[in-house]
Amino acid sequence: MTVTLKDIASRTGFSVSTVSRVLNGGAEMYRISQKTRLQIEKVAQELKYRPNQLARGLRTKKTQAIGLVIPDISNPFFAHVSRVVQVGMYEAGYILIVCNTDENQDTEIEQIQLLRSKGVDGIIIMPVGLESHHIKELLNSKIPVVLLDRSFKDISANLVLVDNYTGSRKAVEYLLKNGHRRIAIIQGLTNTSTNDMRVKGYIDAHQAYHIEVDENLIVGKDYRRENGYIETKYLLNLNNPPTAIYSTSDMITLGILDAIFEDKLSIPDDISLVSFDDVDYAPYLISPLTAVHQPWQLMGEIAVKLLLKDIKSSGQMEKSRIELKPVLNIRKSVKNLNT
Amino acid sequence: MTVTLKDIASRTGFSVSTVSRVLNGGAEMYRISQKTRLQIEKVAQELKYRPNQLARGLRTKKTQAIGLVIPDISNPFFAHVSRVVQVGMYEAGYILIVCNTDENQDTEIEQIQLLRSKGVDGIIIMPVGLESHHIKELLNSKIPVVLLDRSFKDISANLVLVDNYTGSRKAVEYLLKNGHRRIAIIQGLTNTSTNDMRVKGYIDAHQAYHIEVDENLIVGKDYRRENGYIETKYLLNLNNPPTAIYSTSDMITLGILDAIFEDKLSIPDDISLVSFDDVDYAPYLISPLTAVHQPWQLMGEIAVKLLLKDIKSSGQMEKSRIELKPVLNIRKSVKNLNT
DNA sequence: CTGAATTGCGAAAACGATTGCGCATCACAA
DNA sequence: TTGTGATGCGCAATCGTTTTCGCAATTCAG
């Protein structure tokens, strides 16, 4: 069905090796004459030859494919990053195999295994959890890897991170500046580097203002919408409810909105809201959302650049650690309690 | 570095063939004794053997990979669909290669070529354009294909579609029912089946109400946010501006919102808005958005099911055409002009 | 005890490409 | 005529699996 080198070889009368060399641009290196070169190229065109990438990959150990391992591609932040990565890698001649982990470490391990057995040339991963055993093994395997968005302690790898701590502190300090003293935080998956740094930012912001944090106001356990909904319901029913909620992720925010509007409350009059992750629609929400914007475009581009560099240097490159700053986009979802 | 069948063979003393058979579950079929089977399995475990999928694919002509060709994965609708597809295929043992076409047909052609040279076992595609030459060729190639969301005339293929026409008609008729007579439509990429059916719905809705459509109110040319912005700017500056805008896609809607709020207008008091594509945040927009919801969960699941069936039947299956109904979620972005 | 049937496994040929090595052929100088 | 380089290309191994055939060894019936 599909046309192979052999077909071209038999049609032209040359050997498979010669055809291969011509088609790979090794013409003058192997001193193939113009005449045969043109002839082979012509037939290749006619037959619409496409090299079988499997065979090629088997031989060369290069697949021109990379894996992208992310928690959930339907999350706008990840979707945007994926997009940037896909385009960047495609321009460099690579295709993208996308894997969702659903924040499940077992799934993540499986996916990595699978990618490796597929022989990908590199992996960009947003790992889940703090336990990094399988990631360390991956790094040791000498296959180029970039950790994106999330990281681990004591790890030597290409890292593209966002300063979650500072971003979080800015967000919470903004609330504090506006007179809020009971600020709830709905966290995402605990033991994920992003989450934990965001929580730390929240706590340290309070300390900087000499305000004790109420442990009851630190709630939540994962990045799903339902988590935001449930925890908000809980918070709103507290005897002494918070005046503001700080959401650590866009999906959580959606759940928070579900709960708030179900109770017919309004933002920011009844409750203030700040969110990590700035979605496209944030400016146009009922109450334009004050949110921490992550530079996903840059993150994706840098991750691509690092990975490509690593692939080219075949492991000889010293690893880079790049940390980007998020910015707080102030809109109207926070009430000023000072006046 | 990586462990192969040969390694296991030499460690156990058996031949490569026997090892292969055991590890592929062909143990009793080929009458391999319990003892050797267990021994081989044990060593395979110890060495953490993972079959090289390239080699396997080369031999079996199956890669356990499928391609997903979509316009833009950062678009929420496509992102959701991708997610569903990814999960479904992964459960069936397939990985997903994601390709963005950016609504560019040349890119689409390239991507398909690439996927084929990678030997994917199937393709799910949301094609761009009305010219289907390369798609027809793809279908003839006997590789299982599902066309998702978009289609072509006179084509015999697995189709999972949404009734864009009816969805669009419902949306526009809702506006008409509310007394709107000057309704603008901002279209997406012309000559795309989804877009053209939406426009047709718009026109027919007018005819059903015996209202002539003003050609000046049919604007737009692609699915990008900028398109929504520019066209809205134009519409708002018309001598006789529309009382409502009907957006044919979520990204366009975003641009529309950009323009409307830049001009400090309010929805629905100054201008009504209805959108095709119901994003997660639609209920929480400044004016909760009345929108046509596409059943992306179903679409993804059905596409997966059809593709798997097609793969299993190896082309013997008669093609299915499945059309799903969108629903109009009525919220508050439309003003009633009747009273 | 012999021949047939069964059991258990190995050799080797694919799959389609890349690549190190080396073999012809030809021109030209000696 | 012969030796020497250059020129132009083919042979065959290799990547890691799967799979067709077939062969030895064992078992079993007669």
The predicted structure's pLDDT at residue A315? 67
Do A97 and B99 make contact, defined as CB atoms within 8 angstroms?
Answer: no
Chain B: give the shortest CA distance to residue A76, in Å.
7
- The proportion of chain A whose per-residue pLDDT surpasses 70, expressed as a percent, equals 99
Q: Is the pLDDT of residue B1 over 70?
A: no
CB-based contact (8 Å) between B120 and chain A? no
Cβ(A330)–Cβ(A168) below 8 Å = no
- Could you tell me the distance in Å between the CA of residue A2 and the C1' of nucleotide C25? 35
Domain ranges of chain B: 5-51, 63-162+296-324, 164-294
pLDDT confidence tier of residue A33, bands split at 50, 70 and 90: confident
Residues B294-321: tens digit of each pLDDT: 999 999 999 999 999 999 987 677 899 9
Residues of B in contact with A4 (CB under 8 A): none
User: What is d(CA A44, CA B129) in angstroms, rounded to the nearest whole number?
Assistant: 29
**Two domains, one topology: A63-162+296-325 and A164-294:** yes
- Tally DSSP H helices, then E strands, for chain B: 12, 12
The predicted structure's pLDDT at residue B315? 67
H helices present in chain B, as ranges: 5-12, 16-23, 34-46, 53-60, 76-91, 105-117, 133-140, 164-177, 193-208, 225-236, 250-262, 296-313
User: What is d(CA A180, CA B95) in angstroms, rounded to the nearest whole number?
Assistant: 48
The mean pLDDT value for B48-71 works out to: 95
The predicted structure's pLDDT at residue B28? 76
Residues of B in contact with A57 (CB under 8 A): 54
Q: CB of residue A33 closer than 7 A to nucleic acid strand D? A: yes
Chain C nucleotides close to protein (CB under 7 A) are 7-12, 14-21
pLDDT confidence tier of residue B131, bands split at 50, 70 and 90: confident
Q: Which of A60-74, A100-114, A280-294, B306-320 has the lowest mean pLDDT?
A: B306-320
Q: Is the pLDDT of residue B89 over 90?
A: yes
For domain A5-51, which architecture applies?
Answer: Orthogonal Bundle (1.10)
The predicted structure's pLDDT at residue B153? 84
Q: Is the pLDDT of residue A26 over 80?
A: no
Cβ(B69)–Cβ(A135) below 8 Å = no
CATH topology classification for B63-162+296-324:
Rossmann fold (3.40.50)
The predicted structure's pLDDT at residue A1? 65
Of A residues 38-57, those with CB within 7 angstroms of nucleic strand D are: 55
Identify the CATH number of the domain defined by range A164-294.
Answer: 3.40.50.2300
Q: Which CATH superfamily is domain A63-162+296-325 in?
A: Response regulator (3.40.50.2300)
Bridge partners of A125? A69, A147
The predicted structure's pLDDT at residue B29? 80
The predicted structure's pLDDT at residue B33? 87
The predicted structure's pLDDT at residue A318? 87
Q: State the maximum Cα–Cα separation within chain B, in Å, rounded to a whole number.
A: 89
The predicted structure's pLDDT at residue B2? 87
Q: Is the pLDDT of residue A293 over 90?
A: yes
Do B95 and A118 make contact, defined as CB atoms within 8 angstroms?
Answer: yes
Q: Which one, of A97, A162, A160, A108, lies nearest residue A137 by Cα?
A: A108
Q: Is the pLDDT of residue A314 over 80?
A: no
Element holding A259 (H helix, E strand): helix A250-262
Token pair belonging to B84: 């569903």
Q: Is the pLDDT of residue B154 over 70?
A: yes
The answer for A 19-78 residues in CB contact with B (under 8 A) is: 50-55, 57-58, 63, 65, 72-74, 76
Do B97 and A100 make contact, defined as CB atoms within 8 angstroms?
Answer: no
CB-based contact (8 Å) between B95 and chain A? yes
Instruction: Name B137's Cβ contacts closer than 8 Å, sequence gap at least 6.
Output: none
φ, ψ of residue A134 in degrees (nearest 5): -70, -30
- Could you tell me the distance in Å between the CA of residue A36 and the C1' of nucleotide D3? 30
Residues of B in contact with A97 (CB under 8 A): 65, 95-98
The answer for B 252-271 residues in CB contact with A (under 8 A) is: 254, 257, 261
Residues B221-278: tens digit of each pLDDT: 999 999 999 999 999 999 999 999 999 999 999 999 999 999 999 999 999 999 999 9
User: What is d(CA A230, CA A104) in angstroms, rounded to the nearest whole number?
Assistant: 21
Mean residue pLDDT across chain B: 94
- The proportion of chain B whose per-residue pLDDT surpasses 70, expressed as a percent, equals 99
Residues of B in contact with A229 (CB under 8 A): none
- Determine the 3-state secondary structure of A160 from DSSP: strand
Do A96 and B95 make contact, defined as CB atoms within 8 angstroms?
Answer: no
The predicted structure's pLDDT at residue B46? 93
The predicted structure's pLDDT at residue A291? 98
Residues A152-188: tens digit of each pLDDT: 888 899 999 999 999 999 999 999 999 999 999 999 9
